[in-house]
């Protein structure tokens, strides 16, 4: 495939993602307002997403907090700024680490499951059967998954932030590098409510993107089991790339709008 063909395919995929995102958002909002939203499907998907992502998220957050604490602690010791380690650790985890770790796990664990489920339905022609029966698959299958992913991403971000910050606190205070009061005081002095708001906004956006990519690739799957496997692989890779790009864009936007608190 030539570069032109790849570029054209990328533009087509981007357009499909935008269209699916708009349609799914409109369907979810309309169904919630008119009380036709499938809350049963939402609860099932939310429970499934929590079940497959909660433990891996915690297990990733702990070493993430360790690595952050060790690296920042080493630099702080060199320049004699141990008293500021709490602020740097906490704010860094809250603004960047927590939403990004959550989104990557949602893209990997939850997104792959969504893509494989919808892809299997597509290759078995269940999606076409739903359309024949007058059921909108986006309204019935995609919209509840998006709402569930938003709720789960929102809650998991808080869990990741708490786990990573508690881990960093234990390492710094337990290791005798800084007192508990100094560590917590530095974080309270430099942190702002907007830090938590930024983390949750990032989590919602990342969760939405990961779910839309997984759903679009699943609904576009073809060619039997191999086609579903290829769709899952493409969904995970594309989600990670998009999340990294969007994270940079959000960080730069926040830095420009709030110069005193570069994200």
Q: What is the pLDDT of residue 212?
A: 92
What is the per-residue pLDDT across 207-245, written as a single tens digit (0 to 9) for each? 899 899 999 998 888 888 888 888 899 888 888 888 888
pLDDT for residue 154 is more than 60: yes
The position carrying tokens 């690296």 is: 71
106 with 152: CB under 8 angstroms? yes
What is the per-residue pLDDT across 57-105, written as a single tens digit (0 to 9) for each? 888 888 887 877 777 767 766 666 666 777 777 777 877 778 878 878 8
Question: Please, which residues have CB within 8 angstroms of residue 54's CB and are 6 or more apart in sequence?
Answer: 156, 159
The CA distance from 101 to 87, in Å, is 20
The CA distance from 38 to 21, in Å, is 18
93, containing H or E segment: none
Q: Is 2 exposed, middle or buried (0-12, 13-18, 19+ CB in 10 A)?
A: exposed
| Spatial CA neighbour of 149 closest among 195, 118, 103, 193 | 103
Q: What is the pLDDT of residue 263?
A: 45
What is the per-residue pLDDT across 101-138, written as a single tens digit (0 to 9) for each? 887 888 888 888 889 989 988 988 888 888 888 888 88
The CA distance from 163 to 165, in Å, is 6
Q: What angle do CA 243, 188, 206 make, to 5 degrees?
A: 10
Q: What is the pLDDT of residue 147?
A: 92
Longest dimension (CA), the chain: 69
Q: What integer best gives the mean pLDDT of the chain? A: 82
**Helix, strand or coil for residue 9?**
helix
Q: What is the pLDDT of residue 262?
A: 47
pLDDT for residue 261 is more than 70: no
The CA distance from 221 to 232, in Å, is 9
160 with 55: CB under 8 angstroms? no
| Spatial CA neighbour of 24 closest among 227, 255, 219 | 219
The count of residues in the chain is 263
What is the per-residue pLDDT across 4-56, written as a single tens digit (0 to 9) for each? 777 787 788 888 888 888 898 888 888 888 888 888 888 998 998 888 888 88
pLDDT for residue 182 is more than 60: yes
Q: What is the pLDDT of residue 260?
A: 54
Q: Which residue would you say has higher pLDDT here, 146 or 38?
A: 146
């Amino acid at each position: 495939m030539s570069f032109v063909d790849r570029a054209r395919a990328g533009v087509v995929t981007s357009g499909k993602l935008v269209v699916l995102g708009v349609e799914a958002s409109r369907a979810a909002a309309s169904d919630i307002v008119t009380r036709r939203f499938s809350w049963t499907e939402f609860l099932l998907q939310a429970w499934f997403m929590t079940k497959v992502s909660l433990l891996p998220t915690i297990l990733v957050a702990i070493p993430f907090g360790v690595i952050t604490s060790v690296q920042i602690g080493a630099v702080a010791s060199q320049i004699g700024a141990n008293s500021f380690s709490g602020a740097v650790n906490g704010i860094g985890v809250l603004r960047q680490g927590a939403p990004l770790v959550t989104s990557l796990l949602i893209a990997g664990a939850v997104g792959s499951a969504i893509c494989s489920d919808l892809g299997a339905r597509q290759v078995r022609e269940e999606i076409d059967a739903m359309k024949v029966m007058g059921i909108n698959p986006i309204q019935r299958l995609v919209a509840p998954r998006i709402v569930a992913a938003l709720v789960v991403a929102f809650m998991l971000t808080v869990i990741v932030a708490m786990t990573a910050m508690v881990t960093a606190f234990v390492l710094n205070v337990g290791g005798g590098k800084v007192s508990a009061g100094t560590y917590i005081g530095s974080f309270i002095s430099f942190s702002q409510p907007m830090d938590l708001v930024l983390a949750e906004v990032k989590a919602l956006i990342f969760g939405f993107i990961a779910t839309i990519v997984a759903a679009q690739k699943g609904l576009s799957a073809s060619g039997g089991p191999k086609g579903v496997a290829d769709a899952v692989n493409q969904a995970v890779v594309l989600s990670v790339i998009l999340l990294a790009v969007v994270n940079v864009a959000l960080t730069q936007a926040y830095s420009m709008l709030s110069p005193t608190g570069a994200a």
